[in-house]
Amino acid sequence: MNKIRYAFKTLSAYRSSTAIKILSLGLGLTMCCFIFARVAHDNSFDSKFRDPSSLYQLWMQFSIDGKELPVQQACLFPLAGACADELSDIVSSATVVNPLGSKEFKNGGNIVEGDLIVTDSMFFETMGVELICGDPKAITADGGIYISDVAAKKYFGDESPLDKDLYYGEYLLSVKGMFKSWGEETTLHADFIGNIYEWCGGYRINSWDGGDRWYEYIRLKEIPESADDFNKKITAVLLRHNPPTESISIKGMAAPIRDTYSGSDQVRHMTLTLSILGIAILIITSLNYVLLCISSLSRRAKAIGVHKCNGAKAGTIYGMFIIETCLVLLGALLLGAFFWWLANRFAQETIYDNFATYVSFDRVWIVLAVTVLIFIIAALIPANIFSKVPVSQVFRRYTEKKYGWKHALLFIEFAGAALVSGILVIVLAQYNTLINTNPGFDEDHIALVYNPSNTKEESEALLASLSGLPYVEAVTKSQYYPGSGYSGNIISNESGKKLFSTRYDYIGENYIDVMGIKMLNGSFPKDSSEVIVNEKFTELIDMTPETAVGKRIHFGGDPVFISGVIEDFTTGNYYQPQQPFLGNNAEKYTLRYYNVKLSEPVMESYMKLTEAMPEILGTSKSVHTSLFSNMKIETYSSVAQFRSLVVIATILLMLICAIGMTGYLSDEMRRRQREIAIRKVNGASTVSIVKLICRAVLVTALPAVILGTAAAWYFSSLWLDQFAVTLDGLWLKFVLSGILTVLIIMIVAAALIIRRASANPVENLKSE
């Protein structure tokens, strides 16, 4: 009890120092907890299914002439069922799923919205999803649909959803069951589940020859000892039903469903970088506290000596400082809780969407783990040093002779600051590169409008209405759109040899002009016997834009002639390399999207278009439209959120380092006050004193910043590996980052030193 009372008195006596310690620990602890909560979130996807360790997702990989294409989630429809039948010693059940995205249903006068997936009768057994009510086998009945408990509560309250009528357009559906939602941390979102045969009956179901568009899952009886051997068995199943040709073959593979999200390149690189940031902040926060504590040693040595004169043992002193650290850490936790509340209240959109998901109560263990780690570093080191202060210090001023450890702590802080600053510079520059790189079409003036029309007449009426708007310059149509990734098909030469897989689209005659894509050679296809291709396409057929025009190829088995070549444009996103593209003339067809070119000022025209769409379509609901420039920002929103997090982490780390440097320099000025006073008496100016101390700081800062910047280069390079489009002048940005970090350190040091260096030397000598 006496130890606790003494700790309170000590903390109260040094109020300003205590407040600084609590602020420093609170900032670092909060940031560490959020970063590690985000990492835990990204590694918790698809963990709510029953026994997720035995639930695997199937993948496929095509090879053309021995060249492997990227591994793809989309599989041939019969693959899962064939694995269950032919590998029954390993696979207990299998299911096929097709996510159809957000759908809108009507229940009387009410609108019921949610994500729809369609599947087969083995879904609930394979995925381990709990069916609250209803028959799991009834999923194959026509007109039936299942609803999640979350959606049922939202739309029907406490009423039973069973046998509720839902209309999709004019099609009547009836709710036949309710399932327990498996949460938001999933790669398979579902508010509704429907019959895959009813919704997708025309999409090459049960075909081994193409139609690879299905997500497939298997549940294993036991985890295979060798993943490679298991994948070879899946490949053997594939090849039995789809034998390789002279130029094309397929491999099959399976991986735990929990790896689908966390194993993707984007998430892996993000997790690695966040982990580095979190570890750096944790270590620096802890060592900063150590530096602040030990920097006060010269002031507190006499009090420790008095305690020892009164019979206190080294263990007693050790315990007193452990308790003191516990109290400071408790204050930091309370301050961290306040910061956490502020972030959840005001920074949800800035840092990460759905902030509460990442910091939910089931991740309290992260707070406990971070707190324990900080305590181990922050409490034990100072307590050990303070307990060894000799009793003789009660009779004389304590001067620490071995102060190299303070330089070591400062070195680590400076290196950490340089590491985070270097990562920040690269993240900022890369995001700027992603947003400002020209995609190869006029993204600034084009808005995308979904065509909901069911007939050719309705589609033409919508096209005419859009074209007649005064703020619309032109309208064109397409089946897909740049950035969607497009669908793919195989290109063969005249002898039938398969060459590669191309992205393709069906487009209107004025598509190239309206979209602002540059035509390099030739002309737009006059009919279905001709196509246009991009530069990448011509490269893969070993031709140039000039020689490719008139070339005969086979697209999906049909012979076509290349009528024109266009400049490369972004078909997917900047995570992927440039893809080959082929465009078909589809002027006479009804297509899914209208691409609307807006007049200046674009944002004003876009707002008018958005307001006009409900009236044009004859609906009271707002109609979703998108500017391509906004879609681009949304595509890289995770990078923007990561950028915001790194900015905040860098600011906090710089603040923590400044606090630590304050403690170090205060102790340094106190330790050298006699030397400084004598120098000033002998004519030294304040500027020369500042230079003297700053030079000592620079000796520590310069190698630390070089080391930290080198580490930032290494980890930033790993993060940049996920992008096909990256920033230029990488090395120059790291050099500038290092120089800027050193300048900030020296400016802060000079600002802290100058007041003490300006003091009257007589006053300093009086205290000696």
CA distance 581 to 576: 14
Question: Is the C-alpha dihedral spanning 749, 754, 756, 757 positive or negative?
Answer: positive
- Residue indicated by tokens 């897989």: 501
Cis peptide before 601 (omega within 30 of 0): yes
Assign 519 to helix, strand or coil: strand
CA distance 465 to 636: 33
Single-letter amino acid, residue 732: L
- Residue indicated by tokens 């009510």: 133
Nearest to 636 by CA among 754, 704, 724: 724
Number of neighbouring beta carbons within 10 Å of residue 180: 13
Length of the chain: 768
CA distance 461 to 443: 25
CA distance 462 to 450: 11
Strand 487-492 and strand 498-507: the pairing is: antiparallel
What is the CB-side half-sphere exposure of residue 9 using CA atoms within 13 A? 8
The segments of the chain whose pLDDT lies below 50 read 394-395, 398, 402
Burial class (CB in 10 A: 0-12, 13-18, 19+), 226: exposed
Nearest to 576 by CA among 726, 724, 436, 727: 724
Assign 539 to helix, strand or coil: helix
CA distance 661 to 287: 12
Q: Which residues have C-beta within 8 Å of that of residue 140, sequence separation ≥ 6?
A: 120, 121, 195, 197
CA distance 552 to 583: 15
Give the burial string for 125-155 (b: 16+ CB within 10 Å, else e): bbbbbebeebebeebeeeebbbbbeebbeeb
Assign 448 to helix, strand or coil: strand
CA distance 626 to 629: 8
Nearest to 57 by CA among 255, 261, 231, 234: 255
What is the CB-side half-sphere exposure of residue 474 using CA atoms within 13 A? 13
Residue 661 parent element (H or E): helix 637-671
Angle at 571 between CA 565 and CA 577, to 5 degrees: 95
Report phi then psi at 450, rounded to 5.
-75, 135
Q: Do the Cβ atoms of 734 and 712 come closer than 8 Å?
A: yes
CA distance 356 to 46: 18
Give the burial string for 558-575 (b: 16+ CB within 10 Å, else e): eebebbbbbebbbbbbbb
CA distance 632 to 618: 29
Q: Do the Cβ atoms of 98 and 200 come closer than 8 Å?
A: yes
Nearest to 758 by CA among 688, 696, 695, 668: 688
| H-helix segments, 348-473 | 348-351, 355-358, 364-387, 404-436, 456-467
For the chain, the C-alpha Rg in angstroms (whole number) is 33
Q: Name beta bridge partners: 98.
A: 118
Q: Do the Cβ atoms of 506 and 584 come closer than 8 Å?
A: yes
Q: Which residues have C-beta within 8 Å of that of residue 729, sequence separation ≥ 6?
A: none
Assign 149 to helix, strand or coil: helix
Strand 625-627 and strand 446-450: the pairing is: antiparallel
**Tokens standing for residue 498:** 């398969």
Strand spans (E) along 309-459: 446-450
**pLDDT at res. 446:** 94
CA distance 92 to 405: 61
